[in-house]
Amino acid sequence: SSGINAEYGVQGKANPVWDRIIGTASAERFLIPAMLEFYTDVESTGSSNEFYDKFSIRYHISSITKTLWFSTTTTHQYTLKQCLNEGRYVRFINMLINDTTFLLDESIDCLRSIRDIQRAMANSDTWEALSEDERNEKKGKLAQDEKQCRSYLTLANGTVHMFHYLTTSTQEPFLRGELVDRVAAMLNYNLLQLCGPKCANLKVREPEKYGFQPKVLVQQITDIYIHLKSDVFVEAVAGDERSYSPDLFTMAIGRLRNNLIKSAYEVEAFEEFARQVKERYDEKQVMDMEFDDAPDEFKDPLMSTLMRNPVKLPSGVTMDRDIIQRHLLHSTTDPFNRQHLTHDMLEPDTELQARIEEWVRERLGRK
């Protein structure tokens, strides 16, 4: 592991051996697929240390993948693109979403705690009023938070950067029906943490000590929005009820411009994307009210949203395809009877879909 660096990938003394390995025909064919499989398989190891094992292994995988992506030969990059476009690697992207959300969340929690303790220590009157035991307890908590923050941010920076360079040249895998809503929600949530009204709570002394580079994170996250810009992605961003609001993008644009995070041209591109999302958001608000009284049989039984692509499960329940496929990313069981369920067991309900589409046309025709 001494030959792996979070920022630069494989380096130093490992290079001669590394060069001999990655140039072989076997490596060009099997290395990337094996690492993507391993990335998902290590989610559960059965070990008492599986949490640390998982992120340690994924850290090394991301470092190796980055080096392969930016290597002088394009063979590995081409193989990685091919893998991502195959359905069997959807779980890898899903795990990448999960890791990015979790690691940034933990990093942000640590930063807030560090800030609170730093402010308490800076107020000499309040600090001296505490007992020695209380001060020692807070100092111990600060040391623990700083250590965790460095670890989480090292990993978080790596996963965000992986998202960034992968989406630069390959978009379709991230826009799949079962993933696009999760990608949009992840980006919106983290943009809210970094640019929202509570972002001042993340200001700590010497942020570089923890590897906290908010400008870089904001730049990469806003880049990813542009990389994935498409009708389906605009729909997903606008449909995220947890974190998205037009005000969020207004605040982000202000941050980009005021802190010189992007060029004027890049800010304009993001503004145009934000305008499209807001337009779709406004339309969706009207449409949701219009379709709120849809018959129950037209609504997904888990999410109570109007189904667009209904499929029958072996249990006899009908669900929207994207929703059940999202469920299958985490569990291979029917959510209603816990029986084994896979994608190929889903049966399109074309008759119900035709009825839903007819109902939508009639409803819109009344406007």
CA separation (Å) from 115 to 125, 145, 200, 208, 321? 18, 10, 10, 14, 44
Tens digit of each residue's pLDDT (9 = 90 or more) over 308-338: 899 999 999 999 998 898 888 878 899 999 8
- pLDDT of residue 3 exceeding 50, the answer is no
The answer, as to whether pTM is greater than 0.85, is: no
pLDDT score at 219? 97
Q: Pick the closest to residue 95 from 188, 7, 183, 203 (CA basis).
A: 183
Is residue 340 left, alpha or beta, with left meaning phi > 0 and alpha meaning psi from -120 to 50? beta
**Dihedral sign, Cα of residue 57, residue 58, residue 59, residue 61:** positive
Give the separation between CA 12 and CA 15, rounded to whole angstroms.
6
As separate numbers, helices (DSSP H) first and strands (DSSP E) second, the chain gives 14, 5
Cβ contacts of 357 within 8 Å, gap of 6 or more? none
* CB of 72 closer than 8 Å to CB of 19: no
User: Looking up tokens 């730049």, which residue turns up?
Assistant: 219
Is residue 239 left, alpha or beta, with left meaning phi > 0 and alpha meaning psi from -120 to 50? alpha
Cβ contacts of 188 within 8 Å, gap of 6 or more? 237, 240, 242, 243, 244, 248
pLDDT score at 133? 95
9-18, 190-199, 245-254: least confident range: 9-18
Q: Pick the closest to residue 333 from 315, 349, 309 (CA basis).
A: 315
User: Looking up tokens 């979790």, which residue turns up?
Assistant: 102
Q: Percent of the chain having pLDDT more than 90?
A: 70
86-95, 195-204, 288-297: least confident range: 288-297
Confidence band for 14, pLDDT divided at 50, 70 and 90: low
